[in-house]
Chain A
Amino acid sequence: EAQVTQNPRYLITVTGKKLTVTCSQNMNHEYMSWYRQDPGLGLRQIYYSMNVEVTDKGDVPEGYKVSRKEKRNFPLILESPSPNQTSLYFCASSHGLNYEQYFGPGTRLTVT
């Protein structure tokens, strides 16, 4: 089944404790992206990647890192999480910029 998977689905952590949210797709997509979703703000793009070893900042990259060492994986790294990073995070992938994106199920992160 073609899909985007994210892990963990739920995470509660404390300020400053490094964490990684994994994202994997099995559709051989070149393009991958991370979004955060907050009430009233819709989805905001954090980082995206056009292909392996190519990443770019989206609208809200501060406090986040990403890497794209393999085509199928695009982990999101929070080196020192803060409470304002409490949010619902979605990973997505597509064949390219002008193609529909397939979204993962989301990761709900709470930073206390």
Chain B
Amino acid sequence: GESVGLHLPTLSVQEGDNSIINCAYSNSASDYFIWYKQESGKGPQFIIDIRSNMDKRQGQRVTVLLNKTVKHLSLQIAATQPGDSAVYFCAEKTNNNDMRFGAGTRLTVKP
């Protein structure tokens, strides 16, 4: 079946650098995408979302890019801080109204 996936399971960056976390999805009919952050021992926390009629959305220090041509989603974190260390999940809402999550990328920020 179709699923959401991630290019890299781990990412290590230096504090102050920018981070880019990637996600590939295969359901071309998905119309809503979300990035979540999960810290150890906690539930996922919403970061930013984007609907399929957009290709870019910005929040505070975060930007989500959606490329529907190649079915690719990315999360950019500017000036990464130690508090950004966590597992990041992308999720898509499919045309069957299911919510599917990727396996996650662990981001480690080195001081």
Query: Taking the complex as formed, is A79 at the interface, i.e. its CB lies under 8 A from any CB of chain B?
Result: no
Q: A90-B43, A98-B32 are in contact. Are A40 and B103 (CB under 8 A)?
A: yes
Contact of B101 among A44, A50, A102 (CB under 8 A): A44
Query: Taking the complex as formed, is A24 at the interface, i.e. its CB lies under 8 A from any CB of chain B?
Result: no
On chain A, the residues within 8 Å of B89 by CB distance are 42-43
Distance between B5 CB and nearest chain A CB, rounded to angstroms: 9
Query: Taking the complex as formed, is A41 at the interface, i.e. its CB lies under 8 A from any CB of chain B?
Result: yes
On chain A, the residues within 8 Å of B101 by CB distance are 35, 42-44
On chain A, the residues within 8 Å of B93 by CB distance are 97-98
Digitize B3-47: 1 where CB-to-A-CB distance is under 8 Å, 0 elsewhere: 010000000000000000000000000011010100000111110
Chain B interface residues toward A at CB < 8 A: 4, 31-32, 34, 36, 42-46, 49, 51, 89, 91, 93, 97-104
Q: Can you spell out 15 A-B residue pairs with CB atoms less than 8 angstroms apart?
A: A4-B43, A40-B103, A42-B103, A43-B89, A45-B98, A48-B98, A48-B99, A58-B99, A59-B100, A90-B43, A97-B32, A101-B34, A103-B36, A103-B44, A106-B42
